[in-house]
Amino acid sequence: MKRILLLAGKKLPVTYIKVLQDLGASPQVAEGEITADGFDGLVLCGGGDPDPMLYGQANRGSYGIEPMRDRQELACIHSFLKAQKPILGICRGMQILNIAFGGTLTQHLPSAQLHQGVGEEVWHDLRTEGYLRKLYGRKFSANSSHHQGIDRLGRGLRPAAWAPDGVVEAFWHERTAVLGVQFHPERMENGEKIVDLFLKSC
């Protein structure tokens, strides 16, 4: 059984745990300083915005910042990369991965209303490439709950999906087992395909 480390915020990431367990994995939520030792893969969960200081910007619309979580996640990312173990970043998780590879974020998208609803989940179609095209075809509908987005992609990262406004909604790394999605596959009917792909790489 594959042991997967989950990095999340203050709330227990119930939906992430369930999809991993349904696919036969053994998830463990991180507590304190944890490295890649003893784990087969890392999942970075959704949450508030990363600190813009991490990519050299003043705060121009970021909120829900947790500096301690940022530090823990970046340390874990580098530990798993050094150990050559797979990483899956979801929503905020994709954003912190982009930062770890030297990328930047748009702190508040001009079209934020397309990506984040008030009191309800927003859905939109995605145009795909790479692994997402293999899983879902050229287009598929995904949920969306974010007001920030990828600005400059980090080193080695390649886009795998775009929203109708051109925002990058997924990526993969060209040399290591790193996947990122801006949407929430753990809450999608067919989202387990992405999680299963990650687990198979572990």
Which residue numbers are catalytic?
91, 184, 186
Q: Are 138 and 128 in contact (CB under 8 A)?
A: yes
53 CB-near residues (< 8 Å, 6+ apart): none
- Rounded to whole angstroms, how far apart are CA atoms 45 and 19? 13
Q: Are 144 and 183 in contact (CB under 8 A)?
A: yes
- Rounded to whole angstroms, how far apart are CA atoms 87 and 91? 13
Q: Are 88 and 39 in contact (CB under 8 A)?
A: no
